[in-house]
Amino acid sequence: MPGWTAPAQPAEKEPPPLIVSALTGDYRKNGAAVRNAFKFISAAARHSVVQLSVDGKAVALGTVVEAAGLVATKASELVPGKLTARLADERVVDARILAVDEDNDLALLKIEAKGLTAVLWNDGETAPGEWVATQGLATVPEAVGIISGIPRKILPPRALIGVNFAGDGELPRVLALAAGSGAEQAGIKPGDVILSVDEKAVQTKTELTTLLREFRAGRVIKLQLQRGADVIETSVALTAEAVVNAAQAQTAAPGGRGGRGGANGRNFTGTRVSKRAEDFDLVLQHDTVLEPWECGGPLLDLYGRAVGLNIARAGRVASYALPSVLVQKIIADLKTRAARAE
């Protein structure tokens, strides 16, 4: 049988092929050998982390913010069920939600444990290139990475009026309407050219989509259209992208390649993305590869202080953390709210 041989004779003196080996996993950026160098910060910081489970299934990490049992985490991962927290010392205790900040997807929990170690916050500015470690309960971080850029706002999921534009031309000329979309209900017709949005003139498709990007679903906008020789005014309600796409079924959505894409568009590479991965006031983007259930815990610098709290796995290249200053402000608000409620 050509093509394969018995185990090579040890006498074979042929030089090895040029380059075919690969760096073994342990020595890659997130490999065990590299993460092991972070053990010096993990030793203390792991005691400021809890692992949260619902009905025994791990859903998120949590960040200890007060020794008396206050923990902050990512709210949208806390599905209904029995919520428990595992500590670094192996204890498993009950946990309950005190208050939730929907805007930033942050929940404040009370866990049935005292004498905990609150995380140390680093309120300074971060710079691209700084190491960040996502700490779990283990003696080394779950994963490590670097800060990828300057803090920024993450816009809400795209809202659409529900039209496809024609061909390659730059004019925002309507080609087709998505069934059940705001555009259809408003009586927009194929061939119409959109002239302005809320009195603001638009000349190109790009200008138009950039403008629409600022609005959330549900918002009603005023459109001026050119239809033949007529100029028509109408009002259109924006629909969430996912809703439009679902209704549109076979038809491609506007935007397309090169744009931001929706939560689906960015993540064709096998990455599991958090359910809530958009619409945050301010985030630090880092390149750490996280699973959605590794969010909620502290994001540490090389001093073992938290520069933020992991709030979302957002795609192949990005995880987001709420910066420490913002987290502390939200926690203060949530404490006030929880106290009022009790």
Site membership for other proteins, residue 226 (CB under 8 A):
no
Site membership for other proteins, residue 167 (CB under 8 A):
no
Rounded to 5 degrees, what are φ and ψ at 120?
Answer: -95, 130
Q: Which two tokens stand for residue 33?
A: 């050998």
**Cα separation, 60 vs 296, whole angstroms:** 6
Min dist. Cβ of residue 17 to other proteins (A): 4
CB-wise, 138 or 338, nearer to other proteins? 138
Site membership for other proteins, residue 37 (CB under 8 A):
yes
CB-wise, 287 or 333, nearer to other proteins? 287
CB-wise, 84 or 104, nearer to other proteins? 104
Applying CB under 8 A, which of residues 10, 11, 13, 16 lies at the interface with other proteins?
16
**Cα separation, 300 vs 64, whole angstroms:** 13
Closest by Cα among 176, 193, 184 to 228:
193
Residues 105-164 that bind other proteins (CB under 8 A): 127-131, 145-150, 152-153
Min dist. Cβ of residue 139 to other proteins (A): 15
**Cα separation, 240 vs 163, whole angstroms:** 13
The Cα-based distances of 144 to 9, 140, 232, 283, 319 in angstroms read 43, 10, 55, 17, 11
3-state DSSP call for residue 325?
helix
**Cα separation, 115 vs 93, whole angstroms:** 13
The Cα-based distances of 193 to 55, 186, 231, 300 in angstroms read 54, 14, 9, 51
Half-sphere exposure of 50 (CA within 13 A, CB side): 34
Piece in contact with other proteins (CB under 8 A), picked from 21-29, 60-68, 96-104, 190-198: 21-29
Piece in contact with other proteins (CB under 8 A), picked from 11-19, 104-112, 215-223, 236-244: 11-19
Min dist. Cβ of residue 328 to other proteins (A): 23
Footprint on this chain of other proteins (rule: CB under 8 A):
1-8, 16-31, 33-34, 36-38, 40-41, 127-131, 145-150, 152-153, 168, 170, 204, 206, 257-261, 266, 268-271, 285, 287, 289, 302, 315-318
